[in-house]
């Protein structure tokens, strides 16, 4: 009888994909079967995030809860970014943890489950060409890592310390992986990396000369693949060739994440982001000119050390000018192994909270206007999920969540939908035709 595996995933899309890789390895090589019931699991894995402080604190309370609920003899493993940066300390603080597996060491999952107190957290490990087994949570949309690690040194960010240097995955391997996913029913691929448009900067053993634009062109040639998304690109590497490809390639979905972090050139410098407010605005204007229908989303940090009222006003100005559709906004959280944590001029929590509330309030107003303006429009929606009450959910080309009345037949179809109702998080519509 197969053993049962329970995995909790925190954090970004790369962690979600790492979870799929662990499930694949454990089910194919060790006969584990996924369960959603913690109490029946033989193996419990917490795949962690460490980008802000909160999830780290949550990890230790969660280990305590899981330890009480788990069945006799069940193992607990901690994987992901917090595993990378705390390593052995996790077992010292929580001896009930059986193994610790870093975000850069996921391919070793079948080894560490067999050892007591194994700690595999090397950030130099190169698993960029490791042939993971196949497992996908959603057969209609495939997530594919195109690079591992991050070569930037943004002063607020712990990721380079947890995921190591950036290594691109050879393009032929990517084409093989995507072709396989397409043959298994995926019409859409989501290309993943900490810094996707830096693709091709460095390979492991392979010798290849290709950049992200070249990769997009190569992937677009895959028969049966209809939609390409990617996250996250870096504003610094958004050159003209890339934006032209984004706008003109019909397979590339017109949704782009352009992480601002701050609108103040001075703060961007202190963050070591490598671009100015003007460059950022110029790139967004170019996107709007080439591709007016594109949805632009962003990440913003408020309360970064030294952020003055004037710096924050710069951020508000960029919000006003670009009118981001989606905003992921955070209060600055000092992280270990980062330069900014050592800066002296930390902003008080009260000031950061006031700024965050103002930013989010204004963004909500913009979002409501954007969503209300969708009523009456026609979107091409790719349906991938059945919902209760005869409803089916999918995403428009520009990434909006759309619901219609319907059943299984819509799953896996890309269909014209007329929008009839808008709310902040989603749109309702009616199907116009079915291809
Ligand atoms: N504090 C707050 N937000 C952070 N992010 C990364 N590091 C920190 C930090 N120390 C945010 C950035 C990044 C997103 C994934 O998380 O906005 O783009
Ligand atoms: Fe962190 Fe900057 Fe790398 Fe993004 S680009 S993962 S923010 S260091």
User: Does residue 126 sit within a domain?
Assistant: no
- Averaged over 349-361, what is the pLDDT? 98
3-state secondary structure of 257: strand
3-state secondary structure of 250: coil
User: Does residue 212 sit within a domain?
Assistant: yes
Phi-psi region of 422 (alpha: psi -120 to 50; beta: other; left: phi over 0): beta
Identify which of 280, 366, 355, 276 has the alpha carbon closest to the alpha carbon of residue 313: 355
The vertex-227 CA angle with 382 and 288, nearest 5°, equals 100
Q: Which ligand 1 atom sits closest to the C-alpha of 158?
A: 7
CA of 154 to the centre of ligand 2 (A): 6
Q: To test ligand 2's pocket by mutation, which of 52, 159, 260 has the most ligand atoms within 8 angstroms of CB?
A: 159
Q: What are φ and ψ of residue 374, in 5° steps?
A: -80, -20
Q: What's CA 25's distance to the chain center, in Å?
A: 21
The CATH number that applies at residue 33 is 3.40.50.12160
Q: Which of 120, 152, 180 is the last residue of a domain?
A: 120
Q: Which of 327, 357, 372 is the last residue of a domain?
A: 372
Q: What are φ and ψ of residue 326, in 5° steps?
A: -120, 140
Residues 6+ apart with CB under 8 A from 96: 63, 67, 76
**Do 196 and 266 share a domain, yes or no?**
yes
User: Does residue 307 sit within a domain?
Assistant: yes
Beta bridge partners of 230: 191
Q: How many domains does the chain have?
A: 3
Residues with CB under 6 A from ligand 1: 51-52, 156-157, 259, 261, 299, 301, 330, 332-333, 335
What is the domain range of residue 82? 3-120
**Do 367 and 387 share a domain, yes or no?**
no
CA of 261 to the centre of ligand 1 (A): 8
**Do 263 and 307 share a domain, yes or no?**
yes
Could you list the beta-strand ranges (E) of 157-196: 167-168, 188-192
Torsion sign across C-alpha atoms 399, 403, 404, 410: positive
**Do 98 and 196 share a domain, yes or no?**
no
3-state secondary structure of 429: strand
**Do 273 and 418 share a domain, yes or no?**
no
**Do 318 and 278 share a domain, yes or no?**
yes
**Do 352 and 207 share a domain, yes or no?**
yes
Residues with CB under 6 A from ligand 2: 150, 152, 154, 157, 159-160, 194-195, 234
State the ligand closest to the CA atom of 356. Answer: 1
**Do 366 and 423 share a domain, yes or no?**
no
Label residue 435 by pLDDT band (50, 70, 90): low
Residue-wise pLDDT for 381-405, tens only, equals 999 999 999 999 999 999 999 999 9
The CATH number that applies at residue 397 is 2.40.50.140
Phi-psi region of 322 (alpha: psi -120 to 50; beta: other; left: phi over 0): alpha
CA of 315 to the centre of ligand 1 (A): 15
Position 9 pLDDT exceeds 90: yes
Label residue 205 by pLDDT band (50, 70, 90): confident
Residue-wise pLDDT for 21-70, tens only, equals 999 999 999 999 999 999 999 999 999 999 998 877 789 999 999 999 99
User: Does residue 197 sit within a domain?
Assistant: yes
**Do 363 and 399 share a domain, yes or no?**
no
Residues 6+ apart with CB under 8 A from 186: 136, 139, 140, 141, 142, 225
**Do 346 and 395 share a domain, yes or no?**
no
The CATH number that applies at residue 362 is 3.80.30.20
- Averaged over 284-292, what is the pLDDT? 98
User: Does residue 128 sit within a domain?
Assistant: no
**Do 214 and 363 share a domain, yes or no?**
yes
User: Does residue 132 sit within a domain?
Assistant: no
Residue 36's CB: how many other CB atoms inside 10 A? 9
CA of 303 to the centre of ligand 2 (A): 18
């Amino acid at each position: 009888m197969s053993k049962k595996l329970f995995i909790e995933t925190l954090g970004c899309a790369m962690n979600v994909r790492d979870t799929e890789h662990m499930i694949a390895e454990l089910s194919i090589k060790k006969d584990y079967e996924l369960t959603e019931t913690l109490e029946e699991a033989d193996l419990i894995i917490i795949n962690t995030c460490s980008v802000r402080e909160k999830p780290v604190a949550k990890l230790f309370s969660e280990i305590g809860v899981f330890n009480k609920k788990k069945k006799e003899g069940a193992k607990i493993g901690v994987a992901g970014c917090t595993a990378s940066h705390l390593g052995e300390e996790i077992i010292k603080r929580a001896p009930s943890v059986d193994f610790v597996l870093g975000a850069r060491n996921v391919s070793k999952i079948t080894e560490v489950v067999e050892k007591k107190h194994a700690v595999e957290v090397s950030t130099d490990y190169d698993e960029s060409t490791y042939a993971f087994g196949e497992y996908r949570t959603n057969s209609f949309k495939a997530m594919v890592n195109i690079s591992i690690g991050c070569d930037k040194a943004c002063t607020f960010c712990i990721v380079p310390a947890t995921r190591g240097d950036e290594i691109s995955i050879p393009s032929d391997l990517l084409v093989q992986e995507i072709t396989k996913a397409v043959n298994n029913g995926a019409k859409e691929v989501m290309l993943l990396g900490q810094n996707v448009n830096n693709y091709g900067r460095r390979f492991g053993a392979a010798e290849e000369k290709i950049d992200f634009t070249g990769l997009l062109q190569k992937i677009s040639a895959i028969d049966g693949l209809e939609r390409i998304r990617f996250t996250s690109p870096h504003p610094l590497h958004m050159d003209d060739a890339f934006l032209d490809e984004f706008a003109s390639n019909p397979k590339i979905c017109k949704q782009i994440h352009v992480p601002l972090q701050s609108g103040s050139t001075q703060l961007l410098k202190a963050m070591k982001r490598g671009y100015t407010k003007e460059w950022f605005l110029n790139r967004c204007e170019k996107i709007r000119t080439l591709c007016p229908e594109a949805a632009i989303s962003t990440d913003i940090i408020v309360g970064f050390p030294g952020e003055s009222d004037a710096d924050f006003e710069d951020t508000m100005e960029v919000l006003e000018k670009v009118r981001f559709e989606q905003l992921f906004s955070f209060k600055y959280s000092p992280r270990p192994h980062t330069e900014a944590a050592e800066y002296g001029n930390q902003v008080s929590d009260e000031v950061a909270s006031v700024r965050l509330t103002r930013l989010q309030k204004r963004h909500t107003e913009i979002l409501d206007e954007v969503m209300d303006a969708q009523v009456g429009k026609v979107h091409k929606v790719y349906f991938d999920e059945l919902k209760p009450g005869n409803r089916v959910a999918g995403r428009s080309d520009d990434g909006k969540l759309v619901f219609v009345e319907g059943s299984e037949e819509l799953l896996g179809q890309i269909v014209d939908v007329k929008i009839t109702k808008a709310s902040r998080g989603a749109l309702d519509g009616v199907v116009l035709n079915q291809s």
